[in-house]
A and B are shown apart, each in its own frame.
Chain A
Amino acid sequence: MIRRTVLALISLMPLAACSSNSETAAGSTAGTGGGSGVPGGGVTSAELGGPRGPIVPGSQQDLEVNVGDRVFFAFDSAALDDAARQTLERQAAWLKQYPAVSVTIEGHCDERGTREYNLALGERRAQAVKNYLVALGISPDRIRTISYGEERPADPGHDETAWALNRRAVTVVNVTG
C-alpha cells in the first residue's frame, strides 16, 4: 500500500517538474527589489529559463520530463505492471517520434539480495523492458540493455521507500558521437 502511494507520487514527479518549469519560464522576474541598492538606478531584468535550461526535444531530459524514463518493479520480479506498461507505451511513441534516437535500458535492483543474483535480476528487468518496447514496434537494434544489479541505487536509503525506488529499469538516451 505504502509502496503504491510512493510510486504514484514518483510517477507524478515528472509532471510536477514540468509544470514548475513552465511557470518559472512564464513568470518573468519583474525586478530585484532593493537588490542593487541604488535608488532610482537602472533596474534590469532578464528572462530565466527552466532550472535546467530549455528542454531539447528527443533528449534524455525530454524523455525524463515529458514521457517518464523509468519503470518500477515488485520485489524479486521483472513483471511489468499497468503503470509500467503505460510508461513504456509512451516511451515507444516517443521513440517513434525520434527515430534517430537509440537507448540503453539500465536494469537495477534494491540491495536486498546477493550481488550476483541482482546482476542477473537487473538484466532480466532490462530485458523485459526491451522486449516490451520491441513488441510495440521499436527496432531491437535501437535498444541496448545493461544490468547494474544493486550497484547504482537511485536512493541511497535503507528502507522500503528507497528499495522501491531502486527496483527500476531506466531508459537512457545514448549519446552519439
Chain B
Amino acid sequence: MNPSIPLRRRALLAGTVAFAGGVFARRLAQAQLHLDITRGFVEPMPIAVSPFAGDGPAAREQGEAIAQVVSADLDSSGLFRTLDRRAYIQGPEELRGVPRFADWRQINAQALVTGVVRSPEPLVVEFRLWDVFGGTQLRGLRLDAPSSAWRRVAHKIADAVYERLTGESGYFDTKIAYIAETGPATRRIKRVAVMDQDGANHAFLTDGSQLVLTPRLSPDVTRIAYLVFRHPAPRVVMRELASGREIVLGEFPGMSFAPRFSPDGRSLLVSIAQEGNTDLFRFDLVTRQLRRLTDGAAIDTSPSYSPDGTKIAFNSDRGGSPQLYVMNADGSGVRRISFGSGRYGEPEWSPRGDLIAFSKLDKGFFHIGVMKPDGSDERLLTRNYQDESPTWSPNGRVILFSRQDRAGGRTRLFSIDITGYNQREIPTPLDASDPNWSALLP
C-alpha cells in the first residue's frame, strides 16, 4: 500500500499539470503567442531582445541603448524574462531580415524583439516582434522622434510588445510625479519631482523652500497640480510642466488641498477646509467657477473620479471614522462602500473602472487594497508599518504606493500587481512619497 502512494500521487500531479497544459495549448492555438496576465503568478515568458542593428556606429550605439531599455521595461513587469544576450546565436546585423527561428528556439525564447536604427538624428527606428515557435511576425512598427526622446521610443516599443503579448495596453511610456523628501522628520524638506516610470529623466519642479504635497498630473500630462504651504493659507496651485509657469487658480476660501483632475482635464476637484469642516468642491478650469459637492460637519477629502467621470469616490469621516464613499459627480447619491474593519483612506479609481484602490489602517498596520466600486470583494495586497498613497498604472494592472518602514524610517516607492504579486521598489534619488502615475504619454 505504502509504496503505491507516491506513484498515485505522481500520476495525480501529472494529471493536474496536464490539465493546466491543456489550457495553455488551447490558448496558444487560439491566439498564437499570448500571455495571460489575469492569473496571479505567471511564469515569466522567456523573451529575447536583440540589440538593434544600426546604419553606422552612432546608430548602432543608439540601438544597443534602446534594446537595454526595452529589456528593463519588460523585466520590470514581472511577466517577461529577457534572456541573456550572450546566449544569442544570431547577431543584430543578421537580424535585419527574417530571423532563423531555430536558433532562437534552441535557447527557448518564445518571442524575439529585433530592430534597426535607420538614423540616429532625427531618430528613426523600426522594430519587429516575432513569435519564435510560430515562426511569424506579430508586430512591426516604425518610430520617428528627436534623438533626445530615445528613451520614449524604447518605452513605446516595450509598450507595443506588452500590448501584443498580453492583450492589455502597456504603461512604460509614462511619468511619475512624487514628493522628494530630505532632512529630519521635524523639519522635512519636500520638493515636487517628476521622472519617467523607470526613474530616468528625474527633475525637481520646486526648490524646497516651501512645503509641498500631493502632486497630481493632468490627464494629458501637460500640467501638474499640488498643495503648497503659502501665506496666508496652504493652497492648491497648478503649473505647466514644460514651462514651469504657474497657472493662477484664483482665490479659494480657507485652506484648499487634495487636488484631482477630472478625466477630461476640464476641472479640478479640491478639498476646502473652513471653520473646522472640510468639503469637496469642483473648480471648473475653463469657467473658473467653484461648485460645492459635499456639505456637513465632517471631513470629506481624497476624491477620485471614475474613469468615465460620472462618479466620485472619496474619503469621509461622516460615519465617525474615515471610510470610503461613492457619489455621483454632482454630489448626489452618496453611498458608503467600505464596511470592513479598520480605517480607510485615499480611494483611487482604477483607469479600467473595475476596482478602487485604497489604503487602510487596521490593527496597527497599513495596507494597500482593492475593492469593487460597490464595495464588494475587498482584497488587501500589502501589509506594512505604513503603506500609503496608491496610484494606478494607466492599464489598471499595477499599483504604485509609498512605504515607510518603522525601523529606518525611509520612505520609498513600491509597485505591486493587482494580483498581489511582483512587488518591486522604484528607486528614487531621495526619499519619496505621494506618487502619482501619469496616463500614457500622448
Q: Which residues of A contact B (CB under 8 A)?
A: 76, 78, 111-117, 119-121, 123-124, 126-128, 131, 144, 146-149, 151-156, 158
- Give Cα A55–Cα B345 distance, bound, in whole angstroms: 44
B218 on the A face (CB < 8 A): no
Chain B contacts for A144, CB-based, 8 A: 232
Given A120-B299, A123-B273, A113:B322 Cβ within 8 A: yes
By secondary structure, the B interface counts as strand
Given contacts A115-B213, A120-B278, A148-B229, 13 further A-B contacts (CB under 8 A): A111-B386, A114-B322, A114-B388, A115-B214, A120-B273, A123-B276, A124-B276, A131-B276, A147-B234, A147-B255, A151-B211, A156-B185, A158-B406
Cβ A158 vs Cβ B385 within 8 A: yes
Given A113-B345, A116-B302, A128-B276, A123:B322 Cβ within 8 A: no
Query: Can you list the 3 inter-chain pairs with the closest CB atoms, starting with the nearest?
Result: A127-B276, A114-B345, A156-B185
Chain B contacts for A76, CB-based, 8 A: 317, 321-322, 343
B267-286 CB contact bits vs A (8 Å, 1 = yes)? 00001010111100000000
Residue of A nearest to B405 (CB): A158
B104 on the A face (CB < 8 A): no
Chain B contacts for A127, CB-based, 8 A: 275-276
Instruction: Output the least CB separation between B391 and chain A (Å).
Output: 13
Q: Which residues of B contact A (CB under 8 A)?
A: 184-188, 190, 211, 213-214, 227, 229, 232-234, 254-255, 257-258, 271, 273, 275-278, 299, 301-302, 315, 317, 321-322, 343, 345-346, 359, 361, 385-386, 388-389, 406, 409, 433-434
- Give Cα A123–Cα B213 distance, bound, in whole angstroms: 16
- Give Cα A128–Cα B273 distance, bound, in whole angstroms: 13
Task: Identify which of A112, A114, A146 contacts B234 (C-beta below 8 A).
Answer: A146
Max count, chain B CB within 10 A of own CB: residue among A114, A127, A154, A155: A114
Chain A contacts for B389, CB-based, 8 A: 114-115
Cβ B232 vs Cβ A124 within 8 A: no
Residue of A nearest to B409 (CB): A158
